């Protein structure tokens, strides 16, 4: 019998009569007391690789070697996951901008309130898994309240924003003085096996750093902390033909990242270039993809203002 406990959390009933619920996974260690670590995925429904990471990660944990407690919320926005969309289809709201939520608000605000009360307020440490989405691929970790924990995940690039987004799940945990981090890893219409393996190992590294598992995590690679990052969104929709598909690649000024062409006439509508003197690719399209005006195109870090 599995040592994991699954707790259904009813949310509502749709107009069709179909129920909507969350499922919380809990594992209590037998090796002694320790912190409660929470890990969530699919707050944005088109970032499905996080769900797969947690599927494999769950199988790696043995309560006999665990101190403390692990709580998993593997599919935080089930309606968005079902529709493979970033925002909740019922109200087209971004769940990760409305925390801590409102029990009397829209469906997404009610969802955020439920996650806050039933999950986030339980945690001593928190990892929120994100990805590039259905088309782009990404690779970095945010630094919020606990740089040691963020570094231990093992990503080469970290990002310390001057002004974090408001209304995020990590903001709820950070506001309570607890350790919180966001992992941005994988995504896109490419094989996710590499990112799943790195995600599982990164979470185990975090648990060793928190002394929830025995041993010490492997030393991370040489890391760069970015303090400035440009999100480049195409101004025209069409077919994005990428010129640069490699993550973590250093590029010079005005380097062509990709071109948007008209899908019927093949006229070139836009040329997307690097914004800084010294650039590094953090989010890219690794395949030719359909884009709309304002879609995620590229995220580029400024190496001139980065820290070690």
pLDDT tens readout for residues 24-43? 999 999 998 999 999 999 99
Task: Determine contact, residues 76/95, Cβ cutoff 8 Å.
Answer: yes
> Mean pLDDT across the stretch 58-76?
97
Tokens coding 199:
């995600």
SS3 for 81?
Answer: helix
The DSSP-derived string for 102-161 is -TTS-HHHHHHHHHHHHTGGG-SEEEEEE---SS-EEEEEE-SS-HHHHHHT--SEEE--
pLDDT for residue 1 is more than 70: no
* Structure confidence at residue 2 (pLDDT): 80
Task: Determine contact, residues 205/57, Cβ cutoff 8 Å.
Answer: no
Tokens coding 145:
């309240």
Cα 157 to the center of its chain, rounded Å:
14
* Structure confidence at residue 226 (pLDDT): 98
pLDDT for residue 252 is more than 90: yes
pLDDT tens readout for residues 194-251? 999 999 999 999 999 999 999 999 999 999 999 999 999 999 999 999 999 999 999 9
Domain boundaries 5-224, corresponding CATH code = 3.40.630.10
* Structure confidence at residue 133 (pLDDT): 96
Tokens coding 22:
């969350």
Please state, in angstroms and rounded to a whole number, the distance separating the CA atoms of residues 282 and 306. Answer: 13
Average pLDDT score over the chain: 97
Domain locations in the chain as residue ranges: 5-224, 228-305
* Structure confidence at residue 156 (pLDDT): 97
pLDDT tens readout for residues 135-194? 999 999 999 899 999 999 999 999 999 889 999 999 999 999 999 999 999 999 999 999
* Structure confidence at residue 120 (pLDDT): 98
Quote the pTM value: 0.97
CA angle 197, 198, 204 (to 5 degrees): 95
> Mean pLDDT across the stretch 248-277?
98
Neighbour tally for 222: CB within 10 Å = 7
User: Given 2.40.50.100, 3.30.9.10, 3.40.50.720, 1.10.10.10, which CATH number is that of 228-305?
Assistant: 2.40.50.100
């Amino acid at each position: 019998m599995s040592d994991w406990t699954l707790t259904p959390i009813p949310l509502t009933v749709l107009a069709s009569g179909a129920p909507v619920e969350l499922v919380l996974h809990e594992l209590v260690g037998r090796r002694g007391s320790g912190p409660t670590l929470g890990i969530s995925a699919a707050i944005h429904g088109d970032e499905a690789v996080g769900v797969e990471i947690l599927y494999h990660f769950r199988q790696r944990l043995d309560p006999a070697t665990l101190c403390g407690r692990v709580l998993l919320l593997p599919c935080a926005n089930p309606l968005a996951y079902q529709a493979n969309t970033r925002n909740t289809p019922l109200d087209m709201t971004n769940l990760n901008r409305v925390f801590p939520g409102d029990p009397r608000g829209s469906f997404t605000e009610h969802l955020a309130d439920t996650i806050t009360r039933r999950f986030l307020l339980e945690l001593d440490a928190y990892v929120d898994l994100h990805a590039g989405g259905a088309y782009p691929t990404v690779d970095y970790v945010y630094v919020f309240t606990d740089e040691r924990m963020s570094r231990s995940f093992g990503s080469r690039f970290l990002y310390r924003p001057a002004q974090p987004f408001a209304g995020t799940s990590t903001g709820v945990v950070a506001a309570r003085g607890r350790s919180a981090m966001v992992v941005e890893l994988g995504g896109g219409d490419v094989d996710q096996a590499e990112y799943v393996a790195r995600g599982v190992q990164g979470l185990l590294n975090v648990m060793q750093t928190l002394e929830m598992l025995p041993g010490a995590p492997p030393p991370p690679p040489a890391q760069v902390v970015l303090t400035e990052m440009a999100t480049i969104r195409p101004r025209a929709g069409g077919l994005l033909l990428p010129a640069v598909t490699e993550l973590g690649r250093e590029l010079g000024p005005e380097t062509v990242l990709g071109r948007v062409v008209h899908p019927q006439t093949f006229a070139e509508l836009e040329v997307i270039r690097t914004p800084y003197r010294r650039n590094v690719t953090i989010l890219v399209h690794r395949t030719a993809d359909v884009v709309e005006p304002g879609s995620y195109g590229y995220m580029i870090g400024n190496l001139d203002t980065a820290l070690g």
